[in-house]
Structure 1
C-alpha cells in the first residue's frame, strides 16, 4: 500500500539535495528524533517504540518533549534535534483557538526547517466498515505559505488583516513534488485544488503553476483542476474519482479531514512531511485527541503506519513491510481493534496484538 511512498519523495528530494543529506547510520543504527506531541501523542508513539523494540529495529530514539502550549521558542528544541538527525517521528502539537501570543508550533516548525510537502494517504482498510469502498486518495499540500503564513495584524480596532501569501517558486516546487509522486507510484492524474474563480491572483497563480509544470514536464500524467468547495463535496460523495490532489495549505487541511472521515477516522491515516534536508513522519490527519488523552483508547494505526514510512525512508523496507502487514492483519481480523473502528480494545491491547502478529510472521 505504501511501499513506494518514500522512494518517490527521495527521488524528488534528490533533485534539490544530495545523498549526504539523508540520515547517517552509526554502528548499523539510526538515531531518530521522537516528538510525542500533545493529546494522545505519547500513547501512540509509545506504541511505535514498543513495536520497534519487539522487532529489534535498528533505530535509537532522541525524545524531545515539547508541547504546543509552549511559546515558539520551545520549538527550537525539536528543530535542533532534527538538524542533527535529519529524520523524526512526531505527534501533533495542540494550538488552542483562544491562545494569544503566538501561532501554531506545527506551522513554525515546518517553516523553520522548510519542510514544504505534506503527504497524507487515504486508503480503504479491509476490516473497517465505511460508506465508501475502494478509496485510494493522496492529498499533497504545500506546508509553508498560503493562509498559514502567520501574517496577521489589527490595523484599527475591529479590523483585522490576514495575509495569504502565494509564490510561484513554492507553487512550482509542490507541483513537481506531486507529479514526481504520481509518476513513481503509477498514478494517472494530479488535480490542483483552488479557488481561482474568486481569488484570481493568489489561487490563480497556484493553479497556473501546477498546470504549467504538469503539461510541460510530466506529459504522461493527466492534469486536472477543481474548485475547493466542489472538491469537498466530491470527496465526500465519490472519493474514488480522485487520485492525487495537490493543494495550498488550508485546502489540504480541510480535504484531509474529509478523507479521514471517508476511510474510517483520523486514527487510520498515515502521513509524512518532506523538505530538502529533513523528513518528519506524523499522522496525516492532524487530530490531537485531547478528549481521549490518558484513557488508553486511542487508535495507534496512523502512527504505526507513519513509522513504516519512516523505515522506508531509512531503507529498512523489510521491517516496514512486516510492521505494516501485522497492523493490517490485526485490523482485518477484528478481535483487537480500538473503539473508533468498531472494537473495544485498548491502545495497549492493539499494540500487543500487532507484536503478536509479528512473532507469527
Structure 2
C-alpha cells in the first residue's frame, strides 16, 4: 500500500490538494495519505518552514503531493525561514533534480488562451527544468562596498554532472514523444550556459534519433508566443525553466491548469501545481484545482507505475472541460469543490 505525503502548505494549497486527494480516492487504489505542515503554516506552528517531522514524512513516503507555499505575513523574516525555503529544502534534501512541466491546450480552452485559437491549439510540449543548481542554489548574500553602497549578489553556477544528468532526462523524455529537443540557454553571454550547451551536445551523441536544437532564452520566450507548436521538449536550467513554464501556462489558458513533477534519480517525486499560494483568493473556493489534480495523475504515472489511473484522471479533466466546466480563471463560475465534483463525475 503506497504512502502519499500530503503537504498542503499555504493559501489555496489546502483547497486544491484536498480536491486532488478526493480524485485519487475515487480510483480505489488503496492509497494511504498522511498530512504534515509546510511553508508558512509550518513556520507559524513550529518556527521553521520545513520541520524535521515533515521532512521525515517526505523521506518515508512513496510520493509527495504538494500544494503551495507563500504567506505575505512572513515576508520580513530572515530569508532562510521564509515559507518558500520549504520547497527549496525538499528539493535539496531529497535530491529532486528533474522538474517535468507539461503544457498542452485542452480542447475547449482555446478562448481562455492569451494566444489566437489557431496558435494555441498546437501547444503540446514538455519543459524539463533542472532544479538543484543555477542561481537559486549558488552563493548569495548582501554586503556593503567600501564606499558605503549596498550590494546584493547571487552566483549562477552549474557543475558538469548536474547538466549531464538532466540532459539524459530530457532526451529520454523526447524519445517517448516526438523526438525533438530544444535546449534553452544564454550561451552568448553566460559561461554557465556555455557549459550547459557543450554538455548537452555531448549527451546528444547517445540519442541519435532525437533532433537537437538550441535557442537563447529571450528568443525562446518570444517563440512560445509566436509559434509554440514548434516545441516538443524544452530542456533548460532552473531560472529559465521557472520563467518559461509560467509563460507557457497562459498560453494554455491559465496557470491553474499546469501540473509538475519533481523527480529524483530513482523516480520518487514531489508533485505540485506550478501556481503559487494566491493568498488573495485563499479560503474562498475560487481556486482552479485542475493543476493539482493533473499533478496527482503525474504522481500515479511516474512514482507508482499506475499509468492507467493517470490516463483516467487526465481524460476526466479533459471531459469535464469539454462539457463546459469552468472555474473563474477560465471564465466560469464553479467553485474549487464543484470543479472537482465535475471531474469525479467523469471518473
Normalised TM-score (structure 2):
0.89
Counterpart in 2 of 1:33? 5
- CA–CA separation in structure 1 for the residues paired with 2:142 and 2:21: 45
Of 182, 198, 203, the match for 2:189: 198
Q: Is 1:333–2:311 an aligned residue pair?
A: no
Counterpart in 2 of 1:107? 88
Contact 1:72 1:108 in 2 (8 A): no
Structure 1 gap segments, 5+ residues each = 1-28
Counterpart in 2 of 1:187? 178
Q: Is 1:348–2:337 an aligned residue pair?
A: yes
Contact 2:3 2:62 in 1 (8 A): no
- CA–CA separation in structure 2 for the residues paired with 1:241 and 1:320: 26
Counterpart in 1 of 2:58? 82
Of 152, 160, 167, the match for 1:168: 160
- CA–CA separation in structure 1 for the residues paired with 2:22 and 2:141: 45
Q: Is 1:148–2:140 an aligned residue pair?
A: no
Taking the TM superposition and a 5 Å limit, the aligned residue runs for 1:15-26 are none
Normalised TM-score (structure 1):
0.85
- CA–CA separation in structure 2 for the residues paired with 1:196 and 1:349: 47
Contact 1:136 1:240 in 2 (8 A): yes
- State the 1:310 CA deviation: 1.1
- CA–CA separation in structure 2 for the residues paired with 1:249 and 1:264: 23
Q: Is 1:308–2:297 an aligned residue pair?
A: yes
- State the 1:73 CA deviation: 6.1
CA spacing shift, 1:95–1:218, aligned 2, 3 Å: farther
- State the 1:112 CA deviation: 1.3
Runs of 4+ in 1 over 6 A off after TM superposition: none
CA spacing shift, 1:119–1:137, aligned 2, 3 Å: same
- What is the root-mean-square deviation in Å for CA atoms of aligned residues? 1.8
Counterpart in 1 of 2:36? 64
- State the 1:75 CA deviation: 4.6
Of 208, 233, 252, the match for 1:219: 208
Counterpart in 1 of 2:285? 296
Of 246, 260, 264, the match for 1:275: 264
CA spacing shift, 1:307–1:356, aligned 2, 3 Å: same
Structure 2 gap segments, 5+ residues each = none
- State the 1:55 CA deviation: 3.0
CA spacing shift, 1:42–1:339, aligned 2, 3 Å: same
Of 250, 257, 263, the match for 2:239: 250
Question: Aligned residue pairs: how many?
Answer: 325
